[in-house]
């Protein structure tokens, strides 16, 4: 037996008290550890919590890990992912059973031609343009009435009345005497005398013309031997006598009205349209109507006038339709029922295949020709039908508007809310969303912004879901900001704040815009900047707020665009208000500065410099110093052409030195010098004018001092660390979005010249 073991046994036998003193505490400790271990490791509650928790990096929020540890990019300690709960700030989830009890129904958002059939009521009226008022051109007495009642049908040159006047006697005598003088002159009469007599005759005849006597009447008077003291008043046109202002024996003065004659070959149809019908009506649009007195017959005309004023009591606007009436079947005062079938594109133009390639008169819509020319009635130049809001057809599906059931829309004041089914959730989940509505078509609304084709909206039971959000004090139809807290200014995360500046710069351009064209471009710039924001790195809380308020902001810009070209000031006010609201809740600045004047030559030089700068950045990110050297040589040549001598010299010197060395760490130091100077130049001389340019920042560069570089996309490929920490960094500024940055389809909002 081992000597040490024998000694231990001997101690136990001879010193039992000392042994128990040592053994007892040890036994209790081991027992406690033994019995406590299973209970701790087998706790389902703790195990479940640990398994569900997500860990992320404060520097790289795109990292998602199920367990704590180190960031695979920068090796910083991971932190628990903070989330405010499932769903968005307007999201409500219910069980399938509850959805059945609530009797919820959903309908898809469809893209289809917006076809509306507008029923209107009105009556036939005289065409005011074809009414002639016959006045007395000379004072006298009505001695005879050939037309002695209103409603009489007359033809052109028909006798209407006979007027006695001493003045007409004198005028006739002058013509007769002048005619006789010329007829009696002999061959020996001198030329001056002949010319004088001819001038007297012409003057006498012109006097009768001014009294509205025809050439036949004047010739008849000239052939008479003696003048008469009466003149016959004749009708200047075919028509119906609709007014008689004199009686037999009445005395009249020069200019007194005698008769009114209306030509009924064309009439007006005066319709009454409610303000909700007006978006579907256009100048020159075809109108079909029927007359109760003429059953089975259909008549057509074109809209010639839409009253710009709406009756404040009846909320009705007058619509005037020009109608041809060759058979004189249509009589003023007849009641008519009209139908306007309007098919509208997404841009608000009316589809009319019959007007393809046609030219219309801007004053007389009944004048339609195959090419340019003059109006047959007023002589004005014809304009293409497209300029009056017509297109021949809808060429692509994108030209059709988005439609939702009217029952899906909850409206309060100027706001409209729908509830959209969240597709990726197993239980029925719905998200409230503010949208911008267009015109109503029967039981559907046109959606100008806020929805996409194919989304499912709650078409029955939406108010019940909204009530659930109101109970939970979440944003709802009645209180859109319930439960939301305004964030301190400039407290937004860097990955959001760094992409916000282009929105403010475009807003500044809108605020100083002096014409509708520049204002429209500024609104488009704001939309492009919003849609270009990269959301992939946003924390859940930030993402929820961004989804809500970016949607509200694009809605506001859609409404602002409606104000153009009528009111640039109102468009700027709406856009500013929407931007300020988004800034308050997202912690973003809403302060704008007057846009700087950019030298296009300098901006172009900076754009070319960026193009040859990017290959240097990529080579360093790929840990390829030789490629970096080659790219630096090209950059040196390009940067020397920048029309700022000191800056060009600085960039060229650093690039030349970078091209000479092969040590990648030294190259990165020089690259940082180049980046800092180039970023400074763009901020001063090339904002929004140098293509796509983002500033990316890595805080680990230069022993924690940080370093910036330029990227043409809002993503991170770190040139300062290469493969060691390739994705370390975040976008901190947007210098330029490029000519065509990514942009979502905005319903009812397109780029166009508002000044036209």
pLDDT value of position 349: 81
Q: Are 698 and 729 in contact (CB under 8 A)?
A: yes
Q: From CA 508, how far away is CA 592, in angstroms rounded?
A: 6
- Predicted confidence band of residue 68 (pLDDT cuts 50, 70, 90): confident
| pTM of the complete model | 0.70
Residues of 273-311 as b/e, b for ≥16 C-beta within 10 angstroms? beeebbbbbbbbbbbebbbeeeeeeebebbbbebeeeee
Element (H, E) at 271: strand 266-274
Six-digit token pair at 363?
A: 């004053």
pLDDT band with cut points at 50, 70 and 90 for residue 58: low
Mean pLDDT of 40-49: 32
Q: What is the DSSP string of 652-692?
A: HHHHHHHHH---HHHHHHHHHHHHHHHHHHHHHH-TTSSSE
* Better-predicted residue by pLDDT, 414 or 711: 711
**Per residue in 489-503, pLDDT tens?**
889 998 899 999 999
Q: Give the residue among 256, 227, 245, 251 at the shortest CA–CA distance from 142.
A: 251
Tokens of 590: 């809403």
User: Which of helix, strand or coil describes residue 124?
Assistant: strand
**pLDDT for the residue 13:** 39
pLDDT attached to residue 180: 81
Question: Residue 406, Cβ neighbours under 10 Å: how many?
Answer: 15
Q: 10 versus 528: which is more confidently predicted?
A: 528
Contact 651, 670 (CB under 8 A): no
Q: Is residue 360 within 8 Å of 385, Cβ to Cβ?
A: yes
Confidence tier at 59 by pLDDT (50, 70, 90): low
pLDDT for residue 83 is more than 70 = no
pLDDT digits (tens, 9 = 90+) for 282-334: 999 999 999 998 999 999 999 999 999 999 999 999 999 999 998 899 999 99
Cis peptide, bond prior to residue 565, ω within 30 of zero = yes
Q: Is the pLDDT of residue 5 over 70?
A: no
pLDDT reported for residue 52? 58
CB 635 within 8 A of CB 612: yes
Look-up of token digits 């209107």: 120
Segment 608-666, tens digit of pLDDT: 999 999 999 999 999 999 999 999 999 999 999 999 999 999 999 999 999 999 999 99
Nearest to 511 by CA among 582, 578, 570: 570
For the beta sheet containing 707-711, the strands, ordered from the edge strand earlier in sequence to the opposite edge, are 707-711, 692-698, 730-737
- Look at residue 209 in the predicted model and tell me its pLDDT: 82
Half-sphere exposure of 279 (CA within 13 A, CB side): 18
Q: Give the pLDDT confidence score for residue 49 in this predicted structure.
A: 39
- Burial track 551-588 (b if 16+ CB lie within 10 A, e otherwise): bbbbbbbbbbbbbbeeebeebbebbbebbebbbbbbbb
What is the distance in angstroms between the CA of the first residue and the CA of the last residue of the chain? Answer: 112
- What pLDDT does 3 receive? 42
pLDDT in tens, 339-395: 999 888 877 788 888 888 899 998 889 899 999 999 988 889 999 998 888 888 765
Q: Determine the Cα–Cα distance for residues 309 and 312; give it in Å rounded to an integer.
A: 9
pLDDT reading at 425 higher than 60:
yes
pLDDT the model gives residue 84: 44
d(CA 418, CA 444): 13
- Per-residue pLDDT, averaged over 523-528, amounts to 94
pLDDT at 408 over 50: yes
Share of the chain above pLDDT 70, in %: 88
Q: Which token pair is 430?
A: 């719905």
Taken in order 402, 406, 409, 413, the sign of the CA dihedral is positive
pLDDT band at 233 (very low <50, low <70, confident <90, very high): confident
Mean pLDDT of 208-217: 78
pLDDT, mean over the chain: 85
pLDDT above 70 (res 705): yes
Residue 65: the pLDDT is 80
Q: Is 81 exposed, middle or buried (0-12, 13-18, 19+ CB in 10 A)?
A: middle
* Nearest one of 733, 697, 679 to 499, comparing CA atoms: 733
**Residue 115: strand, helix, or coil:** strand
Note the pLDDT tens digit of each residue in 673-698.
Answer: 999 999 999 999 999 999 999 999 99
**Tell me: the pLDDT tens digits for 462-478?**
999 998 888 888 899 88
Q: How far apart are CA 139 and CA 412, in angstroms?
A: 67
Contact yes or no for 714/697 (Cβ under 8 A) = no
How many Cβ atoms sit within 10 Å of the Cβ of residue 743? 15
Distance separating alpha carbons of residues 689 and 691, to the nearest angstrom: 6
Q: pLDDT digits over 725-755, tens only?
A: 998 988 999 999 876 544 444 444 544 444 3
Q: Over 185-228, what HEC string results?
A: CCCCCCHHHHHHHHHHHHHHHHHHHHCCCCHHHHHHHHHCCCCC
Q: Which two tokens stand for residue 563?
A: 């104000």
In contact, 530 and 506? CB cutoff 8 Å = no
pLDDT tens per residue across span 118-172: 999 999 999 998 999 998 888 889 999 999 899 899 999 899 999 888 888 888 8
Half-sphere exposure in the Cβ direction for 397 (13 Å, CA): 6
Distance CA(515)–CA(169), nearest Å, equals: 65
d(CA 336, CA 484): 55
Going by pLDDT thresholds of 50, 70 and 90, the confidence category of residue 579 is very high
Strand duo 415-421 + 368-369: pairing: unpaired
Q: Is pLDDT at 82 greater than 90 in this prediction?
A: no
Name the pLDDT band for 86 (thresholds 50, 70, 90).
low
Nearest Cα residue to 610 out of 590, 639, 587 = 639
């Amino acid at each position: 037996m081992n000597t040490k073991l024998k000694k231990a046994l001997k101690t136990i036998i001879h010193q039992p008290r000392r042994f128990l003193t040592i053994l007892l505490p040890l036994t209790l400790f081991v027992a406690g550890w033994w019995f406590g271990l299973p209970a701790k490791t087998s706790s389902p509650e703790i195990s479940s919590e640990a398994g569900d928790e997500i860990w992320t990096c404060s520097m790289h929020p795109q990292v998602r890990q199920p367990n704590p540890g180190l960031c695979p990019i920068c090796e910083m300690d991971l932190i628990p992912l903070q989330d405010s709960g499932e769903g968005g700030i307007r999201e409500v989830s219910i069980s399938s059973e509850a959805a059945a009890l609530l009797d919820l129904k959903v309908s898809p958002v469809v893209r289809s031609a917006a076809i509306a059939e507008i029923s209107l009521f009105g009556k036939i009226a005289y065409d005011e343009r074809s009414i002639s008022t016959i006045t007395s051109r000379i004072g006298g007495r009505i001695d005879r009435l050939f037309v002695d009642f209103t409603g009489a049908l007359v033809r052109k040159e028909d006798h209407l009345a006979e007027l006695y006047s001493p003045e007409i006697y004198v005028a006739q005598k002058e013509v007769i005497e002048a005619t006789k003088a010329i007829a009696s002159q002999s061959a020996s009469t001198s030329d001056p005398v002949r010319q004088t007599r001819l001038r007297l005759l012409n003057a006498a005849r012109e006097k009768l013309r001014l009294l509205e006597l025809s050439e036949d009447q004047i010739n008849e008077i000239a052939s008479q031997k003696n003048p008469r003291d009466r003149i016959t008043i004749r009708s200047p046109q075919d028509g119906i006598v609709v007014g008689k202002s004199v009686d037999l024996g009445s005395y009249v003065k020069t200019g007194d009205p005698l008769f009114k004659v209306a030509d009924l070959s064309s009439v007006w149809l005066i319709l009454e349209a409610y303000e909700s019908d007006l978006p579907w009506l256009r100048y020159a649009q075809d109108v079909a109507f029927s007359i109760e007195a003429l059953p089975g017959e259909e008549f057509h005309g074109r809209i010639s006038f839409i009253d710009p004023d709406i009756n404040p009591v009846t909320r009705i606007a007058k619509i005037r339709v020009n109608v041809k009436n060759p058979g004189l079947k249509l009589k003023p005062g007849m009641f008519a029922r009209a139908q306007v079938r309007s098919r509208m594109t997404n841009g608000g133009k009316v589809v009319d295949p019959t007007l393809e390639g046609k030219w219309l008169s801007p004053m007389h819509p009944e004048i339609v020709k195959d090419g340019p020319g003059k109006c047959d009635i007023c002589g004005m130049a014809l304009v293409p039908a497209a300029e009056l809001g017509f297109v021949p057809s809808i060429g692509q599906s994108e030209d059709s508007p988005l439609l939702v059931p009217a029952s899906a829309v909850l409206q309060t004041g100027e706001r409209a809310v729908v509830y959209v089914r969240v597709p990726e959730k197993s239980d029925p989940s719905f998200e409230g969303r503010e949208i911008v509505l267009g015109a109503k078509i029967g039981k559907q609304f046109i959606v100008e912004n806020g929805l996409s084709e194919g989304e499912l909206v709650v078409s029955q039971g939406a108010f019940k879901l909204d009530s659930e959000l109101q109970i939970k004090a979440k944003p709802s139809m009645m209180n859109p900001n319930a439960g939301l807290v305004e964030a301190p200014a400039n407290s937004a995360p860097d990955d959001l704040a760094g992409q916000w500046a282009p929105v403010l710069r475009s807003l500044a351009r809108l605020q100083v815009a002096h014409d509708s064209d520049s204002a429209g471009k500024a609104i488009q710039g704001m939309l492009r900047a919003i849609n270009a924001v990269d959301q992939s790195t946003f924390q859940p809380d930030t993402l929820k707020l961004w989804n809500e308020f970016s949607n509200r902001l694009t809605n506001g810009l859609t409404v602002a665009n409606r104000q153009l070209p009528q009111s640039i000031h109102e468009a700027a006010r709406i856009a500013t208000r929407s931007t300020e609201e988004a800034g308050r809740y997202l912690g973003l600045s809403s302060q704008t500065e007057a846009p700087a004047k950019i030298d296009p030559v300098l901006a172009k030089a900076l754009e070319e410099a960026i193009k040859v700068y990017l290959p240097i950045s990529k080579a360093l990110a790929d840990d390829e110093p030789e490629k970096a050297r080659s790219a630096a040589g090209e950059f040196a040549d390009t940067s020397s052409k920048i029309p700022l001598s000191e800056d060009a010299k600085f960039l060229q010197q650093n690039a030349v030195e970078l091209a000479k060395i092969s040590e990648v760490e030294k190259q990165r130091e020089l690259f940082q010098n180049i980046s800092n100077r180039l970023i400074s130049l763009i901020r001063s001389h090339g904002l929004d004018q140098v293509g796509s340019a983002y500033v990316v920042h890595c805080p680990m560069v230069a022993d924690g001092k940080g370093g910036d570089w330029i990227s043409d996309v809002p993503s991170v490929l770190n040139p300062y660390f290469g493969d060691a920490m390739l994705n370390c960094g975040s976008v901190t500024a947007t210098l330029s979005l490029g000519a065509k940055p990514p942009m979502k389809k905005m319903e009812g909002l397109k780029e166009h010249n508002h000044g036209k």
